[in-house]
Structure 1
Amino acid sequence: MLRLAFLFSLQLMLCFSLLPGLALAQEAEVGATVDRSATGGAQTLDDILARQQQQKLDERFRQDNTGNPDAAAGMSEQLGTLGGVSDPELWRQLRYDTAQVTVSSGGDVGKVLVQDGGMRWLKFRAGPLRHYGSWLLLGTIGALVVFFVLRGRIKIDGEKTGRTVTRFKRVERFGHWLLAGSFIILGITGILSLFGRLVIAPYLGKVPNAVLLDLSKWLHNVVAWGFIVGLVMIFVMWAVHNIPNRTDLTWLRQFGGIIGSAHPPAKKFNAGQKLIFWSVVVFGTSISLSGVSLLFPYELPLFAKTFGFLNATGLSELLGLGQLPVALAPQEEMQLAQAWHAILAFVLMAIIIAHIYIGSVGMEGAYDAMGSGEVDEAWAKQHHSIWLEEMQGQQAQSGKDKGTVSPAE
């Protein structure tokens, strides 16, 4: 299962390289050749103006201009102790991670003295992530409100039979609510961490905001393990029931009865539930992997190995991404992991909001499946007719009559 989860994360992480606002590679796009002979190879006024206009430049003329030790003057000559490297050239070496840095502690993390990728991460977090993430959640809620006004609640056709059938066992409901409850806590604490300084601090003050975010961080880190356990439980219990089959095509063609009055047949899980299930498994697995990487900083880097795999298999070239960077600083690994973690969390929150809607106010009788575990036969026949027939067939084979099904309370 871990191998499957890792492959899922590989596929999903590829999408991240397409997102605007956060560059994966340090190298900029190569532009037209610029004559810098007048400045001795240093940047020109045109370079400065282009950078101010946020245009991409070929920075290799600076990256490679880090001095020549072979041109160093002798120790007895003027400036001999500086060797062939000036102060600006030394700072370029530090910025582009080509300097020979030695540290007494900290390992590879301590060797990184300058890492300007942090600004790209900060701008992405404060800009596109907040902007598009909030609009995604608000847009999902708004769309569901409009849908409810137009469609109303999906009711059970006719009268209830008064007979119930067990939809989910206690252990299944426990796994579901463990996953759901932990995800809600993780979503709320994650949103507070992202928007707290912007929304809470101006009104409640910086100290209350700091206390709230400190508590949110602790809850987020602790509850995350419950989410992982719940994710494993629902995968083990329900994966076999969520394998696509031909009945799903019929369900999709008829929009599952959500639009219109048709009630297509379905097994234990219909096509819509299968889409939600695999979304939770795939996105939840990738969120968990990136989250564990953040819980143990610099110990579990994911992106350099992922990009190396994509480059080696030719997938990056096939998708038009070119060669993805594999020489990532430890800090870059954490920045990419945090950004990827938040992006997938927003997507999964939007999906779960829709799931909560259909399982509560959107459909009559749906909550009973995860509430008490018992559903009325009329509801089961309307939404999961094939599954109901299978359950009744099993009861008949075991010598039980349909009339002995426990009455609804």
Structure 2
Amino acid sequence: MTKLPTRAGLVFGALAISVLLAAASPALAQQSGPDGAPNPTASVVNEQTLLEQAPRIQGRIDIPDEKASVLIQPAGREWDYFHEVLLHWFGALVIVGTIAILGAAYLIMGRIRISAGRSGRKVHRFGAFERFSHWLTAVSFVLLGLTGLNITFGKIVLLPVIGPEAFSGLSQAAKYVHNFVSFAFVVGLVLIVALWIKDNIPRKVDVDWMKQGGGFIKSKHAPAGRFNAGEKLVFWFALGGGVAVIVSGYLLMFPFYATNIAGMQIAQVVHAVVAVLFVAVILGHIYIGTLGMEGAFEAMGTGEVDLNWAKEHHDLWLAEQLAKERSAGPAQPSATPAE
């Protein structure tokens, strides 16, 4: 009789050991390879759980640069998703959408003509230095925009077309152009702000200009000074957006001088988003100044505009110019016959 409890205990012990082995078998399977050898990369703990327990995983290094010891930075995965997925969709929708809207506007409304026709008389609008400042900013922005778009869309658009070797050389050259042309853009932006900020202060007439459709409704007259409300909006966006891309751009150009990895990621997001919006705004500005409106390009092309164009689009400014002409006398006319 004494042997029966002993045998029962052995049976229960064997069953308990079997249950423990069955529970541990998944972990043992993960830690072993197909041939039964240990798998050093396997883990019984979910990777996401590890990342939540340790937001930054870093090792120990001999050099005094602490950021170089970082092995995993989970926030970097969010930045990578933004840069490789969200930015592509956002940039494509904004830029392609803007081009589509401008194309539809041209097809529906056509080019805005000078209603009274050309008068044959010219009015001085911009001096040589003003035009130089404008074109310095404009040309540098176009170069920055093209080279910046290559950073975002080059791997998708150009790489499959021209191949990896040509794309590598082109992208390296584009990076240098982007970096060095940025200094010209800064100079140009400073100049146009210094020259025109006084003429871009919002006024009550700007509200009237918007109420009258900004000159796009032929049956209504939109009064304006030297710059209308639309041009003022472009000016202030260029100032605010320009400061944003300049500051964020130089944080990226000179990494870790003023910020850490997280700051660099934020700077890149700001730089990319503002730059895409900047491109869309300038596309509209270019359209109005070329295809969209007759006589507009002449203001920055030659510095002179037709008298009737000025009456229709900047009548308050024209009245001031003609008043100055009358006070100055016939020796210094502001409106001259067209050649």
Question: Under a length normalisation based on structure 1, what TM-score does the superposition of the two structures give?
Answer: 0.68
* Offset of residue 264 of structure 1: 1.4
Question: CA RMSD of the aligned region, Å?
Answer: 2.2
Match of 1:249 in 2: 207
Where do 1:41-80 residues align within 5 Å? 62-63=52-53
State whether structure 2 residue 161 is matched by structure 1 residue 196.
Answer: no
Closer, same or farther: CA 133–217 of 1 in aligned 2, 3 Å: same
Between the aligned partners of 1:384 and 1:125, the Cα distance in structure 2 is 43
- Equivalent position to 2:311, from 381, 384, 400: 381
SS of alignment partner, residue 72 of structure 2:
coil
Match of 1:185 in 2: 143
* Offset of residue 370 of structure 1: 0.4
SS of alignment partner, residue 257 of structure 2:
coil
* Partner amino acid, structure 2, of 1:104: I
Match of 2:98 in 1: 140
Between the aligned partners of 1:143 and 1:393, the Cα distance in structure 2 is 40
SS of alignment partner, residue 294 of structure 2:
coil
Match of 1:369 in 2: 299
Task: Report if the CA contact (8 A) 1:248-1:270 is conserved.
Answer: yes
* Partner amino acid, structure 2, of 1:340: V
Structure 1 unaligned segments of length 5 or more: list them.
Answer: 1-46, 52-58, 64-91, 302-329
Match of 2:277 in 1: 347
Match of 1:105 in 2: 64
Task: Report if the CA contact (8 A) 2:136-2:188 is conserved.
Answer: yes
* Offset of residue 62 of structure 1: 4.8
Task: Report if the CA contact (8 A) 2:122-2:307 is conserved.
Answer: yes
- Equivalent position to 2:195, from 229, 237, 240: 237
Task: Report if the CA contact (8 A) 1:103-1:110 is conserved.
Answer: no
Task: Report if the CA contact (8 A) 1:164-1:375 is conserved.
Answer: yes
Q: Structure 1 vs Structure 2: percent identity of aligned residues?
A: 40
Where do 1:82-161 residues align within 5 Å? 92=54, 94-95=56-57, 103-106=62-65, 108-161=66-119
SS of alignment partner, residue 359 of structure 1:
helix
Which one is further off, 155-164 or 265-274? Answer: 155-164
State whether structure 2 residue 140 is matched by structure 1 residue 210.
Answer: no
Deviations 1:359-398 (A, max 9, x none): 0010000000000000011100110000001011112222
Deviations 1:286-345 (A, max 9, x none): 1111011111111133xxxxxxxxxxxxxxxxxxxxxxxxxxxx2221122112101100
* Partner amino acid, structure 1, of 2:273: I
Between the aligned partners of 1:259 and 1:345, the Cα distance in structure 2 is 31
Task: Report if the CA contact (8 A) 1:187-1:349 is conserved.
Answer: yes
SS of alignment partner, residue 375 of structure 1:
strand
* Offset of residue 61 of structure 1: 10
* Offset of residue 144 of structure 1: 0.7
Between the aligned partners of 1:200 and 1:231, the Cα distance in structure 2 is 30
Task: Report if the CA contact (8 A) 1:176-1:230 is conserved.
Answer: yes
Between the aligned partners of 1:384 and 1:261, the Cα distance in structure 2 is 16
Between the aligned partners of 1:337 and 1:212, the Cα distance in structure 2 is 25
Between the aligned partners of 2:334 and 2:191, the Cα distance in structure 1 is 31
Structure 2 unaligned segments of length 5 or more: list them.
Answer: 1-44
Task: Report if the CA contact (8 A) 1:392-1:402 is conserved.
Answer: no
- Equivalent position to 2:223, from 249, 253, 265: 265
Between the aligned partners of 1:265 and 1:138, the Cα distance in structure 2 is 32
Structure possessing the higher radius of gyration over alpha carbons: 2
Deviations 1:118-166 (A, max 9, x none): 2211111111101111111111011111111111111101232211111
Closer, same or farther: CA 355–93 of 1 in aligned 2, 3 Å: closer
Between the aligned partners of 1:153 and 1:62, the Cα distance in structure 2 is 58
State whether structure 2 residue 336 is matched by structure 1 residue 406.
Answer: yes
SS of alignment partner, residue 406 of structure 1:
strand
Task: Report if the CA contact (8 A) 1:395-1:401 is conserved.
Answer: no
Closer, same or farther: CA 62–126 of 1 in aligned 2, 3 Å: closer
**More helix per residue: 1 or 2?**
2
Match of 1:286 in 2: 244
Where do 1:162-181 residues align within 5 Å? 162-181=120-139
* Partner amino acid, structure 1, of 2:64: S
Between the aligned partners of 1:358 and 1:126, the Cα distance in structure 2 is 33
